[in-house]
Chains A and B, each alone.
Chain A
Amino acid sequence: MDKPMPEPTPVTKPFWDGLREHKIRIQYSPSADRYVFYPRILAPGTLADDLEWREVSGAGTLYTFTVADRPTAPPWADALPQLLAIVELDEGPRLSSEMVDVAPDALRVGMRVKAVFHDQPGQDITLLRFAPA
């Protein structure tokens, strides 16, 4: 079964364009001196209209994770165990992702992680995953 793919919107397109180049670009609000994720139109907390796209390193820590031994939905029946993860980037924001290239029992909250870019065959999409740093 085909997995559903992200559908970039005008607001999120710079993020997905970045991933295709194997770069992580997220938003930053100079007035709030704060990185922001997920992509949006105005800065959270201040509603400042000054969000700009900046490249970040992809280094971060594993904030929390779930080892899914059963598929979260039918398209992932062939992708078990799925290592669902929330990663906190060193720049501050957290994002939902998956851990790869790691044994499930080696996962630890707080472990250092690095970005891994997974180009999707036959698709114009690259997914952002993380692996032990």
Chain B
Amino acid sequence: MCKIRLTFKTPTYAPDLLRSPISAAAGRAFAMAGIDRGSVDMASIYDCYTITVLMSLEDAGFCEKGKGIEFVNSHDLTFRGDFPLNTAGGQLSFGQAGMAGGMHHVCDGARQVMGRAGDAQVRDCNTAFVSGNGGIMSEQVALVLQGD
């Protein structure tokens, strides 16, 4: 019996173009942290493209499948809002700087939890959700960062 962890590198070969691997990663991260999605104070979602954010929000379980657009339109995504998202600006704001682009999301979440996000500090931010992406929607990771 063998198990292949990485079964595709581009969505052309994905079993389902619209189901991304963040689903399994987020499920595992939340289970390890012992919290649910509602406990997240801010999220930093890998945003190489807008569609990646919408699919990640859906597949990580923040909203129903297919409702990503409704979700972002019905929430205030700024640092003062009810779902602070990519408070450091996101890669859509400053370019997709390779590995540094992915690490920026970790820094974004860590700074918020540490209370070091300066003018963009989310009030009482104790739990951050961070996603990473590689390949073409083929390798994805999820982090739950918590402070106290």
A positions within 8 Å CB-CB of B: 37-38, 44-47, 63-64, 86, 93-96
Contacts and interface: CB of A to CB of B under 8 A. Distances in A.
A47 B5 CA distance: 12
B17 interface: yes
A38 B13 CA distance: 8
Contacts of B11: 86
Task: Name the residue in B12, B13, B17 with the highest tally of chain A Cβ atoms < 10 Å from its Cβ.
Answer: B12
Contacts of B2: 46-47
Interface of B: 2, 4, 7, 10-13, 17
A94 B7 contact: no
A93 B4 CA distance: 18
A96 B7 contact: no
Nearest to B7: A44
8 contacts: A37-B13, A44-B4, A45-B7, A47-B2, A64-B17, A86-B11, A86-B17, A96-B10
A64 B2 CA distance: 31
Ranked 5 nearest A-B pairs via Cβ: A96-B12, A47-B2, A86-B12, A94-B12, A44-B7
B60 to A, nearest CB: 23
Nearest to A63: B17
Contacts of A46: 2
B51 to A, nearest CB: 11
B13 A94 contact: yes
A101 B44 CA distance: 43
Contacts of A64: 17
A96 B9 CA distance: 12
A99 B135 CA distance: 25
A95 B11 CA distance: 10
Nearest to A36: B13
Given A47-B4, A93-B13, 5 more contacts: A37-B13, A38-B13, A44-B4, A86-B11, A94-B13
Task: Name the residue in B2, B7, B13, B17 with the highest tally of chain A Cβ atoms < 10 Å from its Cβ.
Answer: B13
A96 B7 CA distance: 17
Nearest to A38: B13
Contacts of A47: 2, 4
A45 B13 CA distance: 13
Contacts of A94: 12-13
A45 B4 contact: yes
